[in-house]
Amino acid sequence: MGKKFFKTIIKVHEIESAMDFAKKLFENVKPPFIVVADIQKKGRGQYKKEWESPYGGLWFTEVLEINTPLGLSTYISIPIMRTLKRYIQDVKIKWPNDILVENKKIAGILIEIKGNIAFIGIGINVENEIPDELKEIAISLKEKVCLSKNSIFNEIIKEQENLNDVFLKIGFKDFKEEYEKNLIFINKEVTIKNETTINGVVKGVTEDGELILKNKNNEIKISHGTVISYN
């Protein structure tokens, strides 16, 4: 059993953003700590995209000290994926850290780094309804299994507390093989958008969580970006 890593968990009912609130708390609260919100009025995902955060979903931000951000983005998907796999078979990861069920997004992660402090925003559709306009691309856990957001939260944190020491000491490399096995587009062609648009076949990830693409005769390592298509 891992030791209790997160000694402080702050729960709020309705808030603009758990991430922004955690940043304010950081001035007075020593990490590691977690902020959990029932409702976010202005939740956001990558590239400041709006993230629907109604009551019934699990919306929280972890604040912890890190030696390096390398591999954090990919590592943090592991405890979430492991927890969901106990209840649902078809759970996959979309690089770097979206969690998919039946090819639909069930969880997303946003990481912001300030010095040696990581603010990790996690959103999971648990008991909340998915709006009609998002039902083709998003799914809620309640469509598959009846579990409370509190029980899922407790399981994820317990799983993560068993793993954090390993990650903080040696990085992502111990999780690389498990991550690749669950990557939805391993050995498939993808298109990635960052400062440019890149195409290639996914061969895996590096020990720092970079995506390895084979493009014609070259191998390319991608450290950031959004996968906009894969087949």
**CB-CB contact of 45 with 123 (8 Å):** yes
Residue 53 confidence (pLDDT): 87
Give CB contacts under 8 A, 24+ apart, made by 50-54: 51/108, 51/123, 52/128, 52/131, 52/134, 53/123, 54/128, 54/129
| φ, ψ dihedrals at 161, nearest 5° | -65, -25
Q: Does residue 2 form part of some domain?
A: no
Boundary (domain end) residue, out of 181, 201, 217: 181
Predicted TM-score (pTM) of this structure: 0.94
How many domains does the chain divide into? 2
Q: Does residue 196 form part of some domain?
A: yes
Q: Does residue 1 form part of some domain?
A: no
Q: What is the domain range of residue 67?
A: 8-181
**CB-CB contact of 7 with 31 (8 Å):** no
Helix (H) or strand (E) holding 99: strand 98-101
Q: Does residue 51 form part of some domain?
A: yes
| φ, ψ dihedrals at 6, nearest 5° | -90, 105
| DSSP one-letter string for 8-63 | EEEEEEEES-HHHHHHHHTTTSPSSEEEEEEEESS-B-GGG-B----BTBEEEEEE
CATH number at residue 156: 3.30.930.10
**CB-CB contact of 140 with 130 (8 Å):** yes
Note the pLDDT tens digit of each residue in 26-71.
Answer: 999 999 999 999 999 876 666 566 666 899 999 999 999 999 999 9
34 to 30, 106, 112, 179: CA distances (angstroms): 11, 20, 14, 24
pLDDT in tens, the chain (231 residues): 446 899 899 999 999 999 999 999 999 999 999 999 999 987 666 656 666 689 999 999 999 999 999 999 999 999 999 999 999 999 999 999 999 999 999 999 999 999 999 999 999 999 999 999 999 999 999 999 999 999 999 999 999 999 999 999 999 999 999 999 999 999 999 999 999 999 999 999 999 999 999 998 899 999 999 999 997
| φ, ψ dihedrals at 45, nearest 5° | -110, -155
Taking the C-alpha atoms of residue 225 and residue 211, their distance in angstroms, rounded to an integer, is 10
126 and 91 housed in the same domain: yes
Residue 1 confidence (pLDDT): 44
Taking the C-alpha atoms of residue 115 and residue 212, their distance in angstroms, rounded to an integer, is 27
103 and 199 housed in the same domain: no
